[in-house]
């Protein structure tokens, strides 16, 4: 039986799955921290109009986009190793949403930017929560059967 490309190129076994799960958990937690910081920087800018906070908000926005792209890349690797589909498709949706959010911000559409930002933060929170429920073999913790 011929192995697929992903089976030949990547180390297999529980150790590799555990490493991928840890990487996804760390990345999703960092993404959540940056997304929460983004909300704080944005609200601070809206309150006092500080140019420094606007610059920090803009810089952090680009960091959030990069983290979303990294999450999609890590998700693709995990998906190819047999992980669930959401592990790739949700970060891809986050990349698209973060670019839309960035565009709304640069266009100064504040109402849409704030509303979409809240939805984005909720989605990032969901993504982080789901990655922490993920078992090293790619199954969510709720799918585990207890044999007591």
Give the model's pLDDT for residue 28. Answer: 96
CA distance linking residue 1 with residue 100, whole number of Å: 45
Q: What is the pLDDT of residues 43-75, one digit of tens each?
A: 988 887 788 999 999 999 999 999 999 999 999
Give pTM, 2 decimals.
0.80
Supply 31's token pair. Answer: 């993404």
In percent, the amount of the chain with pLDDT more than 70 equals 80
Q: Where are the domains of the chain?
A: 15-137
Q: Using one digit for the tens of pLDDT, what is the confidence trace for 80-97? A: 988 899 999 999 999 999
For residues 33-42, give the mean pLDDT: 95
List of residues 6+ apart from 80 with CB closer than 8 A: 6, 10
Q: How far apart are CA 56 and CA 26, in angstroms?
A: 23
């Amino acid at each position: 039986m011929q192995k697929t490309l992903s089976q030949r190129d990547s180390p297999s076994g529980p150790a590799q799955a555990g490493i991928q799960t840890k990487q996804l958990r760390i990345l999703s937690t960092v993404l959540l921290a940056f997304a929460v910081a983004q909300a704080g920087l944005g609200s601070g800018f809206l309150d006092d109009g500080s140019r420094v906070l606007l610059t920090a908000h803009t810089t952090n926005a680009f960091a959030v986009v990069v983290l979303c792209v990294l999450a999609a890349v890590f998700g693709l690797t995990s998906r190819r190793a047999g992980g669930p589909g959401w592990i790739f498709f949700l970060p891809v949706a986050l990349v698209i949403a973060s670019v839309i959010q960035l565009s709304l911000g640069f266009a100064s559409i504040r109402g849409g930017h704030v509303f979409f930002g809240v939805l984005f933060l909720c989605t990032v929170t969901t993504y982080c929560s789901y990655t922490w429920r993920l078992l090293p073999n790619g199954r969510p913790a709720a799918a585990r059967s207890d044999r007591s």
